[in-house]
Amino acid sequence: MKNEVSTTVKVRFSDCDPIGHLNNVKYLEYMFNAREDHVETFYGFTYEEYTKKTGCTWIAIQNEIAYLKEVRYNTQVIISSKTIEIEERTSKIEIIMMSLDRKEVHAVLWVTIIYFNLQSRKSAVHPPEVKDLFHQFYVDLEQKDFKSRVKFLRSQNAKNS
């Protein structure tokens, strides 16, 4: 997908459980770290720079994750992210961890974020330039709810195995 950005990551032994599978909480770390890298590389700023410049930031207010296929240590995976919803004050991001050949999805994470003014300590309306930037990375998914999306991705995994 042209509006989806991605990076390749190697799963580390120290992040795995005793049987060699990536620990559930580490999926979140890998996915959030990749998203932070995507914002810096493709959106052109770091969260720290943006907050210093504007006094605003984004705060995660909801996470939904599904673990679809185990990941073992020493495996390289692709982590991609895209904007799937843009509202006045909130946005939703999809982050997917998949195999290098992109045939198997290991996990999918939907993160709802709110634009937040640090000085007023309240949510704020996304500025037009932010909405424009987010639209550059927007993908209109066919599945509009998380359960349907997970079902679709599971079916894709089954078809590709």
Could you report the per-residue pLDDT of 74-127, keeping only the tens digit for each?
999 999 999 999 999 999 999 999 999 999 999 999 999 999 999 999 999 999
Tell me phi and psi for residue 87, to 5 degrees: -115, 180
Q: Is 133's pLDDT higher than 60? A: yes
| CA atoms of 20 and 71, how far apart (whole Å) | 8
Pairing of strands 76-86, 90-99: antiparallel
pTM of the model: 0.94
Residue 2 — very low, low, confident or very high, per pLDDT cuts 50/70/90?
Answer: low
Number of domains in the chain: 1
138-to-71, 72, 81, 95, 159 alpha-carbon distances in Å: 27, 31, 10, 13, 26
Q: Are 45 and 8 in contact (CB under 8 A)?
A: no
| Residue at 86 is within a domain | yes
Task: Tell me the average pLDDT across 3-9.
Answer: 93
| Residue at 99 is within a domain | yes
pLDDT at 161: 79
Q: What angle do CA 38, 138, 136 make, to 5 degrees?
A: 70
| Residue at 47 is within a domain | yes
CATH of residue 61: 3.10.129.10
| CA atoms of 3 and 17, how far apart (whole Å) | 34
| Residue at 118 is within a domain | yes
Domain hosting residue 17, numbered range: 5-155
| Residue at 160 is within a domain | no
Residue 94 DSSP SS3: strand
Residue 10 DSSP SS3: strand
**86 pairs with which residues across the strands?**
91
What pLDDT digit, counting tens, does each position of 8-63 carry?
Answer: 999 999 999 999 999 999 999 999 999 999 999 999 999 999 999 999 999 999 99
